[in-house]
Amino acid sequence: MTDVVRIGNASGFYGDRFSAVQEMLEGGELDYLTGDYLAELTMLILGRDRMKDPSTGYAKTFLHQMRENLALARDRDVKIVTNAGGLNPHGLAVALRELAAELDIDAQIAFVSGDDLVKQAAALNLGSPLTANAYLGGFGIKTALTRGADIVVTGRVTDASLAVGPAAAAFGWGYDDLDAIAGAVVAGHIIECGAQATGGNYSFFTEIEMGHLGFPIAEIHPDGSSVITKHEGTGGAVNIGTVTSQLLYEVRGPRYYNPDATARLDSVQLTQQGPDRVHISAATGEAPPTDLKVSLNNLAGLRNEISVVLTGMDIEAKAELFRTQFEAELPSRPAELEWTLVRHDRPDADTEEQASAILHCVARDTDPKKVGRGFADTAVQLALASFPGFTMTAPPGHGSPYGVFEPGYVDVALVHHRVTQPDGVSVEIEPSPVRAALVVDEDAPAPAATTDWGPTVMAPLGTIIGSRSGDKGGSANVGVWARGDDEYAWLDALLSTDKLKELLPEAADLVVHRYRLPNLRAVNFVIEGILGRGVAENVRFDPQAKGLGEWLRSRHVPIPQRFLP
């Protein structure tokens, strides 16, 4: 048994840097290379692809990357684990085997299946979705690797499972090794979004050398502890800040649920071990939930939109005139008509753009006629008959389908998690026998302020505080963290749920949950429903909430002078 396994990542989403696979294989020592290609929106896109052609449904980019790098991976004896199989892991595995034969490369290819529940959705009380995929764990990947696979293709597994599987295979973990599995879950969560762990989307990016960022590596040990690093000489940085930021990405409370173990994020300890090396220890594991989360995507109808530019004086009157005229002239009113006026304008502006605002109109309906050319033509036909200075940001289109995401849950015993080996033998993976009922983390109110921090100065919160935010269906999380114990004590007392709603008025009427993570000097908020029914349906500015944390950082609060540079 080895004393460390090096697991790299070369993709954080479908569309990430194509050359990352080659860079990671050539950049230094690796045992495994993982790639995450699936997001909630990606599953919808692949579902629409499959509707047109049942032989598709997987991430074709990965196949192209293997054409260029399969020989290199085999020469370096790096095993590859990826969820690029999407809705059709079998199809991708077949394509890879054909590619290996074409290139005359000996590569043993296995695939994991069983996550696709769309045919059983109605029987499982999941409705009639376009896609329905359970989030599987890492023990199917483990089985494939221990049986000799060089490449393991999966469908929908949890992002962290891409690291859990290789670590469990390397160290022989069983389901009762909860602390070790939890450590791999934490490491897998950190590296699964690629360069977000090495300086990408980092609040304090001005403090590190950016450029061509390296992708992350998790050096995992038999006890589940790990070191997050990157190949020497690559851009970016791995420090406690970059790792903390990624730990807070798209999580809820202290418990991070996975099918093989529930990782307690409030137990994790981070230590800067050296340049670009952060040691992660003390992860505590609890039993995984009895149910698996299911990603459900439904086609909800069609959507079209127009954006009109309003310039100069009387912005609100111009917007009201156009809205009134437009709605009166529509041939038939869509089921949903949503207007948003975005005020970029300023008085006495030096440029025309600075003198202009944007009026957006979004239409949704199941009837193509109500959101198609009739909707678009109505706007165009008002061009010479409405407010002065009428112009549009782009010609209107014909409308397009949109979908909505929602989570579902199903008893893990009803999901047939399978691994098919290169020889065609299929093995069913039994679920963890140590499952337990889901424990819901309770909200943690802000503690009473008991320390006088001295004189304060009104300044942006982000002067001293970092953040990371993201989407989870129709909700969003905003994690904020401090770099020192005193700063954290101040932040924890300052940033209550009410204070967050004051600083982010868009959340004022929504349900907001607050969770404390003292070991990370962090507080995490989950804002329910701020993204409507998810990114595919939502037309909110920043529909995936990627900038929500940076908006919070820009808000001015009274910061103790002692904390300021």
Residue 373, exposed/middle/buried by CB under 10 A (0-12, 13-18, 19+)?
A: middle
Question: What pLDDT sits at residue 538?
Answer: 62
- Would you give the DSSP letter of residue 445? P
**Plot region of 5 (φ>0 → left; ψ -120 to 50 → alpha; else → beta):** beta
Tell me what pLDDT residue 1 has. Answer: 65
Q: So what's the architecture of 301-403 in CATH?
A: 2-Layer Sandwich (3.30)
CA 46 to chain centre: 17
DSSP string, 24-39: HHHHS--SEEEE----
Predicted pLDDT at 211:
92
Per-residue pLDDT of the chain (565 residues; tens, 9 = 90+): 689 999 999 999 999 999 999 999 999 999 999 999 998 889 988 998 898 898 899 999 999 999 999 999 999 999 999 999 999 999 999 999 999 999 999 999 999 999 999 999 999 999 999 999 999 999 999 999 999 999 999 999 999 999 999 999 999 999 999 999 999 999 999 999 999 999 999 999 999 999 999 999 999 999 999 999 999 999 999 999 999 999 999 999 999 999 999 999 999 999 999 999 999 999 999 999 999 999 999 988 999 999 999 999 999 999 999 999 999 999 999 999 999 999 999 999 999 999 999 999 999 999 999 999 999 999 999 999 999 999 999 888 888 888 888 899 999 999 999 999 988 899 999 999 999 998 999 999 999 989 999 999 999 999 999 999 999 888 999 999 999 999 999 999 999 999 999 999 999 999 999 999 999 999 999 999 999 877 666 667 888 999 999 999 999 999 999 999 8
* DSSP per-residue letters across 496-564: -HHHHHHH-GGGTTS-EEEEEEGGGTEEEEEETTTTTT-TTT--SSSTT-TTHHHHHHHSEEEEEGGG-
Tokens matching residue 271 = 């230590």
- Cα–Cα distance between 366 and 381 in angstroms, integer? 24
pLDDT of residue 44: 87
**H-only helix segments in 172-252:** 178-191, 240-247
Give the residue extent of every domain in the chain. Answer: 5-295+407-428, 301-403, 456-563
The stretches of 37-88 forming alpha helices (DSSP H) are 40-52, 60-75
Specify the amino acid at residue 450: T
How far apart (Å, rounded) are the C-alpha atoms in residues 536 and 209? 34
| pLDDT at 175 (0 to 100) | 97
Alpha-carbon distance values, 421 to 110, 111, 149, 279 (Å): 5, 7, 7, 35
How far from the centroid of its chain's Cα atoms is residue 145's Cα? 26
* Number of alpha helices (DSSP H) and beta strands (DSSP E) in the chain: 14, 26
Distance CA 410, CA 190 (A): 27
Q: Give the span between the Cα atoms of 15 and 201, in whole angstroms.
A: 16
